[in-house]
Amino acid sequence: MQYGWMGTTLEIDLTERTIEKRETDPDLTRLYLGGKGVNARIFWERFSPEVEPFSPESPLIIDTCILTGTMVPAANRGVITFKSPVNGHLMHSAMGGFWPAEIKHAGYDTIIIRGKSPAPVYLWINNDDIQLRDAAHLWGKGTPDTMQAIQEELENDKVHIACIGPAGENKCYAAGIESSVGAGASRAGPGAIMGDKNLKAIAAYGTRDVRVAKPQRLVELCEEIMERSGPL
């Protein structure tokens, strides 16, 4: 396994309600270091460029980046790639906050979601336990209420959640995906794609560490970064 990566990719088919775990391609992570590069390559190799944004075959690809889940300041990022309903182009929308790191700590580098659920669901990632759970009771709720309801349902306030509100459910082209205060992905309408797929939220909780090659040197570099950044 490469340093900085967990070694596993999740593939979710909402139509068939199947969940598969595959080995992350080390060539992709070596060449592109995660994020936009990995997502674009996956789309290029596996999906038609002619696919319509609101087609069940239109994917939602989520990738963490090489430093996500480590102690490096400001490095916890996730990139969501999709065919935009705004312009029909392949677009990327990035998100910070705790949610991308939680996916990494659960053991996953990339999540590939395709298909369309016949009824509202949310994806629950809890280390090795992956579930598609009913979300009918969450449909119509705004994002803060959705996050609170899922944490209460799972009885875990350390779960981090990315979700849509009524705008995404109604496929508003400007709909974003929200995770926490100041953390969301809204460029080019990714929330509308989740809404079309009847995917209300993705909740993640993990307890694994991200392996780094030289932990002590990383600590020293992070301290240097913080010193140069000055007081917050």
Q: Which two tokens stand for residue 71?
A: 């102690």
- Pairwise CA distance, residues 14 & 28, whole Å: 25
pLDDT at 96: 93
- Pairwise CA distance, residues 10 & 64, whole Å: 12
pLDDT at 232: 59
The pTM for the full model equals 0.96
The parts of the chain modelled with pLDDT lower than 70 are: 1, 231-232
Among 191, 202, 11, which Cα is nearest to 84's? 191
- Pairwise CA distance, residues 149 & 154, whole Å: 9
pLDDT at 182: 80
Among 66, 96, 93, 85, which Cα is nearest to 182's? 96
- Pairwise CA distance, residues 4 & 21, whole Å: 18
